[in-house]
Chain A
């Protein structure tokens, strides 16, 4: 996999500020996609997937990133105060849609309550305009690194889940009990079979999962169920 340019999604309603920040980010070798409002960002970058909840309808926005069409890494540089949907509201919506694109807030006011709220909700940084180039680029670098980590973690988990899907029903049952530290004999008793059969299923499961030791298999089990 070749190393792709990180992408910064920039949302600021002030055209002049948007253009200047985009130039600065581009000059640092970043790809930039700029939007004048939260709505514009959502419309162009977020694919709507409809979820039926109870009596139907509710459409949950899901950023392209979540649906894997944006390969990353990247981050969102988001103006706090904008007409229409504010930065904080967009953050809330993205979190609700399980979009983990890291967010750097930028604001004209040194608004402490808003910054606390934003950081609590997981923002990477909260920068006050005018923003020094170095401070912004450092923030973006940190955000992109976090995004990369998250993605790798996600990819690993996805890989494990994919491998797990290749297990047969019985192999999965054996796998689930073995990783709790149960001895083969007791697993056999629990599943109503003999130790020899358990050994066979366990060997197949380990091969399919690509684990070389029981310890490794336990780690995989942990990772695949890790929500983070």
Chain B
């Protein structure tokens, strides 16, 4: 089989193409001629492709059916500042940010095996050493006969967009917090008024009764009515407090079967932005064999989100290279799943321990003191327990347990 006339052809790129066309060797002479012509045309079109690829304002790569990369355009090489020889095969992964690598490879491999188009976002080291966010889009390459030849993809630098997104995300979070504070403030004011009314009636009624009883003869019928009213007003105050409790924890849990790993992954996704922005290295340890639990997805996510955001806050004052947040889900005994969030922060002050899950208790200057207390009521409503402790190596660990789905 003749090598098509090409310039600047990389051996790797030609290698896989040859492999794809070698399937055709038994074709009839007429067909063979046709094929050879199309080979030449293909070679020419590949040359044209390379010219175009190098001129394109994006980074372009190609991989073979063995997942190994066989080609990077000039833009890519200029971006990373490395020669082609260093990038091909798996070399390019050396430039991917270590925190993004696992996710990046997992999704690449998964899409590859499923022959699906994919889009990835990860940080890639630029020639000057700075990590830039890139959006990588890959599609299947099929030969003229429909054979799978690998992938071709393009990358664009989306760091600026990403930063704007993160800022927007931060702003949203801040707004959400502010509105939560405002809502709670209003709620407190209106509840205070509603509890104050029956208390006012109770005080005035009991003082009126005292005055009535001091008279001779006392109007006992009136006193009896007063006592009945006092009991009614007491119930009214209790009802307000019950409503407050119902507000803080939704009365009806939406219970369904949940994979603990999925809950964790979802929350990790939400927190990844924040962690990167705050230069916290985030690690996730999941056990693929975890049994399902029964619970309210949103509430459990809220609890974990709360613990992880607390963790991010906790490492704020340590040096960036020491800011670590670890979330781990594992089996604990036969009937319990434990999710633990470990931070490398300053730990929990000793005097805070007894009160840390109490409502309105906070160690943060701008904290509401509601997060952990709500988390505890949610976990307990799920039949689990939540606890906190300091790590021997520094920092704190918050963990909660959930009973696994009963196998009946």
- Chain A positions near chain B (C-beta within 8 angstroms): 14, 16-17, 19-21, 23-24, 26-28, 81, 108-109, 129-133, 136
Whether A129 and B207, one on each chain, are in contact in the complex, defined by CB atoms closer than 8 angstroms, is: no
Residues B170-209 near A (CB distance < 8 A): 189, 192-193, 196-205, 207-208
Known: A27-B215, A132-B207. 17 other contacts (CB 8 A): A14-B200, A16-B233, A17-B197, A17-B204, A20-B200, A20-B205, A20-B208, A23-B226, A24-B211, A108-B192, A109-B192, A130-B203, A130-B204, A131-B200, A131-B204, A132-B203, A136-B204
With A28-B211, A133-B211 given, is the CB distance from A20 to B197 under 8 Å? Answer: no
Whether A16 and B197, one on each chain, are in contact in the complex, defined by CB atoms closer than 8 angstroms, is: yes
Q: From A23, A129, A132, give the contact of B208 (CB < 8 A).
A: A23
Q: From A17, A23, A28, A131, give the contact of B222 (CB < 8 A).
A: A23
With A20-B229, A109-B189 given, is the CB distance from A133 to B201 under 8 Å? Answer: no
Smallest Cβ distance from B112 to chain A, in angstroms? 65
With A16-B229, A132-B203 given, is the CB distance from A24 to B197 under 8 Å? Answer: no
Whether B201 and A17, one on each chain, are in contact in the complex, defined by CB atoms closer than 8 angstroms, is: yes
Chain B residues whose C-beta falls within 8 Å of the C-beta of A136 in the assembled complex: 204
Smallest Cβ distance from A31 to chain B, in angstroms? 15
Whether B200 and A19, one on each chain, are in contact in the complex, defined by CB atoms closer than 8 angstroms, is: no
Interface of B is mostly: helix
List 30 A–B pairs whose Cβ atoms lie within 8 Å, in order of A's numbering.
A14-B197, A16-B197, A16-B198, A16-B229, A16-B233, A17-B201, A19-B205, A19-B229, A20-B204, A20-B205, A20-B229, A23-B205, A23-B222, A23-B226, A24-B208, A24-B211, A27-B208, A27-B212, A28-B211, A81-B193, A108-B192, A108-B193, A109-B189, A129-B197, A130-B199, A130-B202, A131-B203, A132-B207, A133-B204, A133-B207
**Who on chain B is nearest to A16 by CB?**
B201
Chain B residues whose C-beta falls within 8 Å of the C-beta of A23 in the assembled complex: 204-205, 208, 212, 222, 226
B162 interface residue (CB < 8 Å to A): no
B232 interface residue (CB < 8 Å to A): yes
B236 interface residue (CB < 8 Å to A): yes
Determine the distance from Cα of A27 to Cα of B109 in the docked complex, in whole angstroms. Answer: 86
Chain A residues whose C-beta falls within 8 Å of the C-beta of B215 in the assembled complex: 27
